[in-house]
Structure 1
Amino acid sequence: LEQNYYGNTKKIIQYVGSSSLITLNEQTKIILNAVVEQTKHMYFNDFIEFIYSTYPISKNDRYAYLDLPNLAKEYKTVAVNG
Protein backbone atom coordinates (compact mmCIF):
# COMPACT_ATOMS: atom_id res chain seq x y z
CA LEU A 1 0.00 0.00 0.00
CA GLU A 2 1.09 3.52 -0.76
CA GLN A 3 -0.35 6.92 -0.06
CA ASN A 4 -1.93 8.78 -2.96
CA TYR A 5 -1.82 12.51 -3.67
CA TYR A 6 -4.86 13.10 -1.45
CA GLY A 7 -3.50 11.21 1.56
CA ASN A 8 -5.59 8.08 1.03
CA THR A 9 -4.05 4.66 0.66
CA LYS A 10 -3.83 2.96 -2.70
CA LYS A 11 -2.86 -0.56 -3.64
CA ILE A 12 -0.30 -1.00 -6.40
CA ILE A 13 -0.76 -4.14 -8.47
CA GLN A 14 2.03 -5.16 -10.78
CA TYR A 15 2.76 -8.31 -12.72
CA VAL A 16 6.30 -9.52 -12.24
CA GLY A 17 7.11 -12.49 -14.40
CA SER A 18 7.42 -13.71 -17.91
CA SER A 19 4.94 -12.45 -20.48
CA SER A 20 5.22 -15.82 -22.19
CA LEU A 21 3.15 -17.24 -19.30
CA ILE A 22 0.19 -15.03 -20.21
CA THR A 23 -2.19 -16.38 -22.82
CA LEU A 24 -5.18 -14.41 -23.99
CA ASN A 25 -7.88 -15.58 -26.32
CA GLU A 26 -8.41 -13.65 -29.54
CA GLN A 27 -11.59 -11.89 -28.32
CA THR A 28 -9.78 -10.60 -25.21
CA LYS A 29 -6.90 -9.31 -27.34
CA ILE A 30 -9.35 -7.49 -29.63
CA ILE A 31 -11.12 -5.89 -26.67
CA LEU A 32 -7.88 -4.82 -24.97
CA ASN A 33 -6.47 -3.41 -28.18
CA ALA A 34 -9.69 -1.45 -28.79
CA VAL A 35 -9.56 0.04 -25.29
CA VAL A 36 -5.90 1.01 -25.69
CA GLU A 37 -6.61 2.51 -29.12
CA GLN A 38 -9.59 4.51 -27.81
CA THR A 39 -7.77 5.86 -24.75
CA LYS A 40 -4.11 6.18 -25.77
CA HIS A 41 -4.35 9.88 -26.62
CA MET A 42 -6.31 10.86 -23.52
CA TYR A 43 -4.83 12.96 -20.79
CA PHE A 44 -5.26 11.65 -17.24
CA ASN A 45 -8.45 13.61 -16.46
CA ASP A 46 -10.03 12.60 -19.76
CA PHE A 47 -9.15 8.98 -19.09
CA ILE A 48 -10.65 9.10 -15.58
CA GLU A 49 -13.79 10.78 -16.95
CA PHE A 50 -14.05 8.02 -19.54
CA ILE A 51 -13.73 5.30 -16.90
CA TYR A 52 -16.34 6.93 -14.67
CA SER A 53 -18.74 7.12 -17.63
CA THR A 54 -18.69 3.36 -18.22
CA TYR A 55 -21.71 1.34 -17.18
CA PRO A 56 -20.19 -0.62 -14.25
CA ILE A 57 -18.81 2.53 -12.64
CA SER A 58 -21.70 4.88 -13.37
CA LYS A 59 -24.27 2.41 -12.00
CA ASN A 60 -22.54 1.80 -8.66
CA ASP A 61 -21.58 3.82 -5.63
CA ARG A 62 -17.98 4.91 -5.36
CA TYR A 63 -15.73 2.23 -3.81
CA ALA A 64 -18.48 -0.37 -4.19
CA TYR A 65 -17.61 -3.94 -5.13
CA LEU A 66 -18.10 -4.41 -8.88
CA ASP A 67 -19.64 -7.73 -9.83
CA LEU A 68 -18.56 -7.42 -13.47
CA PRO A 69 -20.17 -10.62 -14.81
CA ASN A 70 -23.58 -9.61 -13.43
CA LEU A 71 -23.13 -6.00 -14.49
CA ALA A 72 -22.32 -7.20 -18.03
CA LYS A 73 -25.58 -9.20 -18.10
CA GLU A 74 -27.47 -6.19 -16.76
CA TYR A 75 -25.88 -3.92 -19.36
CA LYS A 76 -26.80 -6.30 -22.19
CA THR A 77 -30.41 -6.27 -20.99
CA VAL A 78 -30.47 -2.48 -20.79
CA ALA A 79 -28.76 -2.10 -24.19
CA VAL A 80 -31.19 -4.46 -25.90
CA ASN A 81 -34.35 -3.15 -24.22
CA GLY A 82 -33.34 0.51 -24.22
Structure 2
Amino acid sequence: MSNLEKLIRYILLNYPNLQELSKPRLVKLIYMIDWRYTIETGNQYTDINWIYNHYGPYVNDVIELMKQKDNIFKVDTYPNPFGGGFTDKFTLIDKTKVELDKELRNIADKFINYTYNLIWSDFINLVYSSYPIKVSLKYSSLNLVELAKEFKKHHNN
Protein backbone atom coordinates (compact mmCIF):
# COMPACT_ATOMS: atom_id res chain seq x y z
CA MET A 1 0.00 0.00 0.00
CA SER A 2 1.48 3.36 -1.00
CA ASN A 3 1.86 6.19 1.50
CA LEU A 4 -0.74 8.18 -0.43
CA GLU A 5 -3.25 5.35 -0.19
CA LYS A 6 -2.60 5.01 3.55
CA LEU A 7 -3.12 8.73 4.06
CA ILE A 8 -6.35 8.84 2.02
CA ARG A 9 -7.69 5.83 3.92
CA TYR A 10 -6.75 7.41 7.25
CA ILE A 11 -8.50 10.68 6.36
CA LEU A 12 -11.66 8.93 5.18
CA LEU A 13 -11.71 6.81 8.35
CA ASN A 14 -11.27 9.84 10.61
CA TYR A 15 -12.92 12.78 8.87
CA PRO A 16 -15.89 13.90 11.00
CA ASN A 17 -18.27 14.64 8.09
CA LEU A 18 -17.50 12.93 4.80
CA GLN A 19 -20.44 14.67 3.09
CA GLU A 20 -18.49 17.93 3.42
CA LEU A 21 -15.24 16.47 2.10
CA SER A 22 -15.11 17.67 -1.50
CA LYS A 23 -12.41 16.73 -4.00
CA PRO A 24 -10.60 20.09 -3.70
CA ARG A 25 -10.77 19.99 0.09
CA LEU A 26 -9.42 16.43 0.23
CA VAL A 27 -6.54 17.18 -2.15
CA LYS A 28 -5.62 20.40 -0.34
CA LEU A 29 -5.86 18.68 3.06
CA ILE A 30 -3.40 16.06 1.82
CA TYR A 31 -1.16 18.88 0.55
CA MET A 32 -1.20 20.59 3.97
CA ILE A 33 -0.39 17.32 5.76
CA ASP A 34 2.35 16.52 3.25
CA TRP A 35 3.81 20.04 3.62
CA ARG A 36 3.85 19.94 7.44
CA TYR A 37 5.34 16.45 7.44
CA THR A 38 8.08 17.67 5.09
CA ILE A 39 8.89 20.60 7.40
CA GLU A 40 9.11 18.32 10.42
CA THR A 41 11.01 15.39 8.87
CA GLY A 42 12.85 16.81 5.85
CA ASN A 43 11.10 14.26 3.62
CA GLN A 44 7.80 14.36 1.82
CA TYR A 45 5.36 11.66 2.96
CA THR A 46 3.65 11.14 -0.41
CA ASP A 47 5.38 10.90 -3.77
CA ILE A 48 3.11 13.57 -5.26
CA ASN A 49 4.69 16.18 -7.49
CA TRP A 50 2.55 19.07 -6.24
CA ILE A 51 1.62 21.72 -8.80
CA TYR A 52 0.54 25.26 -7.94
CA ASN A 53 -2.31 25.51 -10.40
CA HIS A 54 -4.96 28.18 -10.84
CA TYR A 55 -6.69 27.24 -7.56
CA GLY A 56 -3.69 26.49 -5.39
CA PRO A 57 -1.91 23.17 -4.90
CA TYR A 58 -3.65 20.53 -6.94
CA VAL A 59 -2.96 17.23 -8.66
CA ASN A 60 -5.16 14.46 -10.04
CA ASP A 61 -3.09 11.74 -8.31
CA VAL A 62 -5.44 11.49 -5.32
CA ILE A 63 -8.66 10.93 -7.26
CA GLU A 64 -6.96 8.75 -9.88
CA LEU A 65 -5.62 6.45 -7.16
CA MET A 66 -9.07 6.25 -5.57
CA LYS A 67 -10.71 5.37 -8.88
CA GLN A 68 -8.08 2.70 -9.60
CA LYS A 69 -8.63 1.12 -6.17
CA ASP A 70 -12.39 0.75 -6.62
CA ASN A 71 -12.46 -2.20 -4.22
CA ILE A 72 -11.31 0.18 -1.46
CA PHE A 73 -12.76 3.57 -2.44
CA LYS A 74 -15.99 4.61 -4.07
CA VAL A 75 -16.03 7.94 -5.90
CA ASP A 76 -19.47 9.27 -6.83
CA THR A 77 -19.82 12.30 -9.07
CA TYR A 78 -22.78 14.65 -8.58
CA PRO A 79 -23.83 18.01 -10.01
CA ASN A 80 -22.32 20.70 -7.81
CA PRO A 81 -25.17 22.27 -5.77
CA PHE A 82 -23.34 25.62 -5.95
CA GLY A 83 -23.11 25.54 -9.74
CA GLY A 84 -20.01 25.22 -11.85
CA GLY A 85 -20.08 21.60 -12.91
CA PHE A 86 -19.69 18.48 -10.83
CA THR A 87 -18.32 17.43 -7.47
CA ASP A 88 -17.11 14.11 -6.12
CA LYS A 89 -18.09 12.42 -2.87
CA PHE A 90 -16.11 9.60 -1.35
CA THR A 91 -16.90 6.39 0.45
CA LEU A 92 -14.38 4.08 2.02
CA ILE A 93 -15.47 0.53 1.18
CA ASP A 94 -12.64 -1.27 2.98
CA LYS A 95 -12.74 0.17 6.49
CA THR A 96 -9.70 -1.73 7.72
CA LYS A 97 -7.75 0.43 10.17
CA VAL A 98 -4.62 2.03 8.80
CA GLU A 99 -1.55 2.47 10.94
CA LEU A 100 0.40 5.65 10.30
CA ASP A 101 3.64 6.50 12.03
CA LYS A 102 3.03 8.59 15.14
CA GLU A 103 4.39 11.82 13.67
CA LEU A 104 2.22 11.64 10.55
CA ARG A 105 -0.85 10.60 12.54
CA ASN A 106 -0.41 13.62 14.85
CA ILE A 107 -0.08 15.98 11.88
CA ALA A 108 -3.08 14.46 10.09
CA ASP A 109 -5.23 14.58 13.22
CA LYS A 110 -4.34 18.24 13.85
CA PHE A 111 -5.20 19.27 10.28
CA ILE A 112 -8.40 17.23 10.17
CA ASN A 113 -9.57 18.59 13.53
CA TYR A 114 -8.62 22.17 12.74
CA THR A 115 -9.99 22.35 9.21
CA TYR A 116 -13.06 20.13 8.97
CA ASN A 117 -15.44 22.80 10.22
CA LEU A 118 -13.82 25.76 8.46
CA ILE A 119 -15.92 27.40 5.78
CA TRP A 120 -14.34 27.13 2.34
CA SER A 121 -12.94 30.69 2.28
CA ASP A 122 -11.18 30.20 5.63
CA PHE A 123 -9.87 26.80 4.57
CA ILE A 124 -8.52 28.10 1.27
CA ASN A 125 -6.95 31.11 3.02
CA LEU A 126 -5.05 28.67 5.23
CA VAL A 127 -3.82 26.79 2.15
CA TYR A 128 -2.81 30.02 0.37
CA SER A 129 -0.91 31.18 3.46
CA SER A 130 1.42 28.17 3.25
CA TYR A 131 5.01 29.02 2.39
CA PRO A 132 5.16 27.05 -0.89
CA ILE A 133 2.17 28.94 -2.28
CA LYS A 134 3.35 32.33 -1.02
CA VAL A 135 6.79 32.05 -2.64
CA SER A 136 6.02 30.12 -5.84
CA LEU A 137 4.69 31.14 -9.21
CA LYS A 138 1.39 29.80 -10.44
CA TYR A 139 1.69 26.69 -12.60
CA SER A 140 5.05 25.78 -11.07
CA SER A 141 6.03 22.51 -9.48
CA LEU A 142 6.31 22.67 -5.68
CA ASN A 143 9.43 20.88 -4.48
CA LEU A 144 8.33 20.50 -0.86
CA VAL A 145 11.71 19.22 0.36
CA GLU A 146 13.61 22.23 -1.01
CA LEU A 147 10.88 24.65 0.06
CA ALA A 148 10.96 23.20 3.59
CA LYS A 149 14.71 23.84 3.75
CA GLU A 150 14.15 27.45 2.64
CA PHE A 151 11.28 27.85 5.09
CA LYS A 152 13.35 26.55 8.02
CA LYS A 153 16.31 28.77 7.08
CA HIS A 154 14.10 31.88 6.93
CA HIS A 155 12.11 31.07 10.04
CA ASN A 156 14.95 29.94 12.29
CA ASN A 157 16.80 33.25 11.98
Asked if 1:69 is matched to 2:118, the reply is: no
Asked if 1:41 is matched to 2:90, the reply is: no
From 11, 32, 36, the equivalent of 2:60 is 11
Superposed displacement of residue 41, structure 1: 1.6
Q: Please provide the CA RMSD for this pair.
A: 2.3
Larger strand percent: 2
| Structure 1: 5+ residue stretches without partners | 1-9
* C-alpha distance in structure 2 between counterparts of 1:26 and 1:60, whole Å: 30
Change beyond 3 A, Cα 1:45–1:24 = same
Which residue is 1:5 aligned to?
Answer: none
| Structure 2: 5+ residue stretches without partners | 1-58, 73-93
Superposed displacement of residue 22, structure 1: 5.0
Give percent identity, aligned residues only: 28
Q: How many residues align?
A: 72
Runs of 4 or more off by more than 6 Å in structure 1?
Answer: none
- Residue deviations 1:5-37 (CA, integer Å, cap 9, x gap): xxxxx8373333356495421100101111112
Asked if 1:52 is matched to 2:118, the reply is: no
TM-score (norm 2): 0.40
Secondary structure of the residue that 1:13 maps to in structure 2? helix
Q: 1:79 corresponds to which letter in structure 2?
A: H
